[in-house]
Amino acid sequence: MPWGLRRYYDTGGLHFITWSCYHRQPLLNTDHRRDLLLNVLESMRLRYQFGVAGYVVMPEHVHLIVSEPLIGNQSTVVQAVKLGFAQRLIGGGRSDAPRHVWQRRFYDFNLWSQRKEVEKLRYMHRNPVVRGLVAQPERWRWSSYRSYAYGEPGLVQINDWTWWEQRIRSKVS
């Protein structure tokens, strides 16, 4: 996180989160690693009970739009995803596993308006095209684009707010 950047938790809003691989190395440059990261993200989504409104996994960084979790905060979630992925990648003593996987910090930007939410979602979905990885966003399967464009389920469930609705119901009862 850049110096002077403040994190605002408990706002009830969405957060645009970015973190990078160690020294911006393309450590997410294989299908297997990108799939592994998304599987870990989905596992943590269920464990910490937060909503994912969008994501993209690039070869050297990750972007997410997420709600605030019911358990912990965004720092807890990012730490759990990064640690869970690193343990699965490095665990088993594979010779091709990197010694360091992630930069220490992450960037968290509060999305205060629907306009900003749409802006960040479009930015994320266009990122693989701008970088020259694919010609159209629907060809990059490690993003939430196909969920929005075609209603297809991905490795991470998008816009599942059932846990939030259950929380509200339990408070009313």
The C-alpha atoms of residue 154 and residue 78 are separated, in whole angstroms, by 20
The C-alpha atoms of residue 28 and residue 98 are separated, in whole angstroms, by 11
Query: Which of the 8 DSSP states describes residue 6?
Result: P
Q: Is residue 9 part of a domain?
A: no
DSSP code per residue over 11-22: SSSEEEEEEEBG
Give me the residue label for tokens 């990122």: 127
For 99-137, the pLDDT digits (tens) are: 789 998 999 999 989 999 999 999 999 999 999 999 999
Domain encompassing residue 100: 14-172
Q: Which pLDDT value is given to residue 99?
A: 76
Q: Residue 87: give its domain's CATH number.
A: 3.30.70.1290
Q: Which pLDDT value is given to residue 164?
A: 67
SS3 30: coil
The C-alpha atoms of residue 102 and residue 126 are separated, in whole angstroms, by 23
Please indicate whether residue 35 or residue 12 has the higher confidence score (pLDDT).
Answer: 35
For 48-66, the pLDDT digits (tens) are: 999 999 999 999 999 999 9
Q: Which two tokens stand for residue 163?
A: 């846990």
Would strands 14-20 and 61-66 be described as parallel, antiparallel, or unpaired? antiparallel
Q: Is residue 109 part of a domain?
A: yes
Alpha carbon distances (Å) from 53 to 27, 88, 105, 142, 173? 24, 25, 22, 14, 28
Q: Which pLDDT value is given to residue 1?
A: 41
Q: How many domains in the chain?
A: 1
Q: Is residue 80 part of a domain?
A: yes
Q: Is residue 72 part of a domain?
A: yes
Please indicate whether residue 95 or residue 107 has the higher confidence score (pLDDT).
Answer: 107
Please indicate whether residue 55 or residue 166 has the higher confidence score (pLDDT).
Answer: 55
For the chain, what is the mean pLDDT? 89
> Residue 103 CB: number of other CB atoms within 10 A?
17
Q: Which pLDDT value is given to residue 64?
A: 98
Sequence-ordered list of residues with C-beta below 8 angstroms from that of 95, at least 6 positions apart, any chain: none
Give the Cα-Cα-Cα angle 55, 144, 45 (nearest 5 degrees).
55
Q: Is residue 7 part of a domain?
A: no
For 148-164, the pLDDT digits (tens) are: 999 999 999 998 877 66
The C-alpha atoms of residue 167 and residue 144 are separated, in whole angstroms, by 25
